[in-house]
Structure 1
Amino acid sequence: MAARPSQRNIKWVEGLRGVTSALVIVTHIARALDFPLFWPADSKGAAPRLLQLPYLRIPYQGRIGVPIFAFLTGFVCAYKPLKLAYQQGNQSAALKSVARSAFRRPPRLVLPALIATFISFIFSVFGGYKSANRCDSFWVRFDAPDDIPFGDNVKRLFRSSLTTWTNTENVYDRHQWAMRPLLVGAFQVYIVLAATIGMRFRYRVAVHILLILYWLSNRNALTETFGAMLAHGTLLAELAQHRPTQNFISQHQRLFTWVVAPLLLLIGGFVGSYPHEHEDWAGWSMWLHRLIVDPNGDGSRGSLLVPKGTQPGRRTSSFFIMCIALALSVSPALQKFLSHRLLIWLGHHSFAVYLVHGTILRTIGIWIVYGISGEPWEPAGKNADGSPREPKWLHPKSRTHKMVAIIVFTTLTYIAAWAWMKWVDSACARATQWLENKVFDDEDGEGKAGYAEKGYAPLNNGNGTAQPGERREPPP
């Protein structure tokens, strides 16, 4: 049976977002409490642990959360305008949708991020990060804001609120580093849509493919994480609206579901397992390194997948995400799985999870593992002989404390995310909607206020007609 694009299941988008937010939590727990999970083994020559093996290591090693959000940004930002252009043949409505989406995007990202930053600032003022600043986890210490005087803390708050959107630096919540690239990326999608909405399908697809190739060949930082993923999302949004493509997938559903999709996941998952560092500590990772990172063995060149001068971990993870996205686009079974109501619930709360989890981890989570007082503590100094003395970092109380911390942290994160969506996010949404209604004319055309600003609005005489001599419409 032929598939109609309007009937395609896109609930999987929300489900994928929910899975991704859960993976962000998992990888940050690993960073904070068991960093060697990012390596293929604990040490050179040691046997790998179960969670350090290919495929199983992917949720813990990170690198996939932000690129998936970038892909989803490209898909979601493009889907509605393309739907209007495809199914209703209304390019004007599609462009209006782009305009309104572009207007909503900054406040819907900036307002919640500012509130999350302020909450972290409150913890900093009252010494909530003392244990995080003194624990033996270097990643936690790097992520936690230093304890400074109140006046300096206030200045730092204003500075971080600005630099989040200028150079991605936010001392109070370093996880917000991705907010600016995602915001800029959304506007890249809007520009592409506005520029190509009048093109024929084949040429618009060609533009998206060329953009993917451009960003993958670009060796600047994070081009594969954001640029390529955004263009990939826009391309799949195009194909999701294209009836011949969807009919072809439906006619060969078994082949795509049971052969093509699993192959994509197997190949992409193995490549995406490339470790954060110490790839020479395991045979499989060294083989992968020689195949796609350093084929000559002397660092003289890279490969099409990982060009010389790029970050192998990010390149391999982005390749994996591309494979996941393609598998989802051709497999209704995977789409149905991700459309489960639990995953959709997680997806609905994913942005809130992203904003609140870091603060909870560095405070309550670390308090459980290391203690709330941050004592006993011995700062860096000098020994009796004048030689430098390293600080004595706090050590975890026990493995049991770590397990309790993981359970409490995860539970509190989702409770906080639920409360955030119920009160904070809804308030930000109302504020954004009020502003949008204030700024934009009505949906059906330019309203009286819009004409009045231009000097063309008729003066109503009380019965809905214009006064004699007044123009009812703008001049041609």
Structure 2
Amino acid sequence: MSATQSKRNIKWVEGLRGITSVLVIATHLARALDFWLFWPSDKKGVPPRWLQLPFLRIPWQGRIGVPVFAFLTGFVCAYKPLTLAYQKKNIPASLKSIARSAFRRPPRLMFPALIATVFSFILSCLGAYTASNHCDSFWVRFDAPDPLPFQMNVRRLFKSLLTTWTNTENKFDRHQWAMRPLLVGAFQVYIVLAATIGMRFKYRIVVHVLLITYWLMNVANLTETFGANLALGTLLAELSQHRPTQNFISAHQRILSYVVAPMLLLIGGYIGSYPHEHEDWMPWSNNLHKWLSDPAGDQSRGSIIVPLGANTGRRATSFFVQCVAISIFLSFSLQRMLSNRFLLWLGHHSFAVYLTHGTLLRTVGIWIVYGISGQPWEPAGKNEDGSQMEQMWLKPKSRMHKQVAVVVFTLVTYLAAWAWMKWVDTACARATMWLEKKVFDDEEEESRAGLAEKGFSSVNGNGSATRPTDAERGPPPP
């Protein structure tokens, strides 16, 4: 495959997004119905199940979806502006593309998120979350909105619509917590592009590497999840436009695809298998914990992957995602695999899956496992000494009900995602396009409306606005 061909093949982005949406469903099913999969074994001293072993545990243990979406945000937001600037040699068009993309990003995220929140609010008013409020899964109870009187529920709705974009809190759909960081991350990419678009290639690469290094050294919460992966996506978008890099990858494709990429996936997958908690229950996870978090054995320092004070689980998963991203970038074989038509379909519906699956899991999925009514259930009272009695929660009907719930919930989720893309997302796209046309000039030259706003409303013989002369422009403001 030639460098030009590989450079233009970015269908793998959609395929990777599709796989990630499936992993999001898998991890939330595990959280709801089998939380023990997040641990290296069910109990200390008990042999692990197959799905708790390294590598096999990655889809169920969580943490992987959002870092992948952050990487894809960095790559996709950067790819088109870079193509315009460095392949078509049109920096003004690139800057205009950045401006339009920055304008489109908020409504394309906010409109669908708002509709999903309102839909969850309606279900809450109808009592659809009763079973989730009463079930024995702590994670499901935490995610499900508590029943409130209608007026208080309405106030909670408007507060959630605001706080989704201020402090990431949404009581009707807690899975929307990642929306604000992804929106902010997209604007970080736009700022970096606008600031570096005129630099020479090697200096732009230095900027991206420095940004990745900064975010990995920063031990604040979620810096490795968002900042580092956003910057990596932008870096790989740059390298995908660089002909010498693509020629090198093409010339060494066999060793890159069959040696380097598998090694990266194996190393990253083992580190990314780090459990959610109870890492001391199994030798492999305990050794991994010591190597990553406390190599000196006295809590005096961390490792290159997990600096002292960083979240070990998120760092391990982020490292795995970065290994996956680099492997795909280097391997045309992986790119072709991810360009499969079915994976592209999954990727096209991934955002809709992200917005709908949580609500459907807390309703349809939980109804099948625990019953629709959420009864019989009684709130715990007080003991004779005045202390709080232990609350008894609803138990699953059977293992078979869980298995049926997994199948039905998955099918219903993708059916809902298909309907969402066909009607809801299309309407949101049209609304965004209408706003964009109202705000931006369509032509290379300023439109009559744009000039009229500046006070130049006269028209020439062709019916177009007359442009100001240099004398009319006057000096710039101080």
- Asked if these proteins are the same fold (TM beyond 0.5), I'd say yes
* 2:442 corresponds to: 442
Q: CA deviation at 1:388?
A: 2.1
Q: Find out whether 1:25 has 2:25 as its counterpart.
A: yes
Counterpart in the other structure of 1:13: 13
Q: Distance in 2 between matches of 1:443 and 1:237?
A: 28
Conserved? CA contact 1:458–1:472, under 8 Å: no
Q: Is the 2:145–2:172 Cα contact (8 Å) retained in structure 1?
A: yes
Structure 1 residue matching 2:166: 3-state secondary structure: coil
Question: How many angstroms apart in 1 are the aligned matches of 2:458 and 2:266?
Answer: 66
Deviation at 1:411, TM superposition (A): 0.5
For structure 1, list consecutive stretches of 5 or more residues without a partner in the other structure.
none
Return the offset for 1:386.
Answer: 3.5
State the identity as a percent.
71
* Partner of residue 81, structure 2: 81
| 2:71 and 2:233 in contact (8 A); partners too | yes
Amino acid at match of 2:148: I
Matches within 5 A, 1:48-127: 48-127=48-127
Cα deviations by residue, 1:426-473 (Å, 9 ceiling, x for unpaired): 000000000000000114232221112112344244x44778xx8578
Q: Give the CA deviation at 1:349.
A: 0.3
Alpha-carbon spacing, 1:26–1:443, altered in 2? closer, same or farther (3 Å): farther
Which digits, 9 at most, give the CA deviation of each residue in 1:385-431, with x for residues without a partner?
53420111000000000011111100000000000000000000000
Is 1:307 aligned to 2:307, yes or no? yes
**SS of equivalent to 2:3:** coil
| 1:390 alignment partner in structure 2 | 390
Deviation at 1:271, TM superposition (A): 0.4
Determine the C-alpha separation between the residues in 1 that align with 2:21 and 2:262: 23
Return 303-312 or 446-455, whichever deviates more. 446-455
Tell me, in whole angstroms, the C-alpha distance in 2 between the residues paired with 1:331 and 1:443.
40
Task: Give CA deviations for 1:219-269 in whole Å, capped at 9, x if unaligned.
Answer: 110000000010000000000000000000000010100000000000000
Question: CA offsets per residue over residues 178-237 of structure 1, 9 Å max, x none?
Answer: 000000000000000000000000000000000000000001100000000100000000
Please give the TM-score of this superposition, normalised by the length of structure 2: 0.97
1:96-147 Cα distance to aligned partner (Å, 9 max, x none): 0000000000000000000000000011001111110110000000000000
Question: How far apart, CA to CA, are the structure 2 residues paired with 1:364 and 1:105?
Answer: 31
One-letter amino acid of the counterpart of residue 43, structure 1: K
1:444 to 1:322, Cα distance in 2 relative to 1, 3 A: same
For 2:464 and 2:209, locate their aligned partners in 1 and report how far apart those are by CA, in whole Å.
53
| Structure 2 match to 1:194 | 194
Distance 2:136 2:263 in 1: 41
Structure 1 residues 280-326: Cα deviation after superposition (integer angstroms, max 9, x where no partner): 11111111111111112232221111111111000000000000000
Tell me the distance in 2 between the aligned counterparts of 1:172 and 1:258.
46
Change (3 A) 1:225 1:466: closer
Could you tell me how far apart the structure 2 residues matched to 1:290 and 1:95 are?
Answer: 47
Please list, as runs of the form range in 1=range in 2, the aligned pairs for 1:180-329 lying within 5 A after superposition: 180-329=180-329
Displacement of 1:5: 6.5
Please name the residue that 2:360 is paired with.
Answer: 360
Partner of 1:145: 145
Matched, 1:4 2:12: no
Counterpart secondary structure, 2:59: helix
Contact 2:257 2:333 in 1 (8 A): yes
Conserved? CA contact 1:5–1:240, under 8 Å:
no
Matched residue type, 1:228: A
- Worse-superposed segment, 4-13 or 149-158: 4-13
In structure 2, the residue matched to 1:43 is 43
Contact 2:456 2:465 survives alignment (8 Å)? no
CA distance in 2: counterparts of 1:466 and 1:394, whole angstroms: 71
Alignment check: 8 A CA contact 2:37 2:57 kept: yes
3-state DSSP class of the match of 2:41?
coil
How many angstroms does 1:2 deviate by? 4.3
**Conserved in 2, the CA contact under 8 Å of 1:5 and 1:241?**
no
Q: Secondary structure at the match of 2:60?
A: helix
Post-superposition CA distance 1:40-69 (Å, at most 9, x none): 000111000000000000000010100100
SS in 2 for 1:299: coil
Letter in 1 for 2:142: F
Other-structure match for 2:428: 428
The separation in 1 between residues aligned to 2:111 and 2:168, in whole angstroms, is: 16
Counterpart in 1 of 2:459?
459
1:378 Cα offset (Å): 2.1
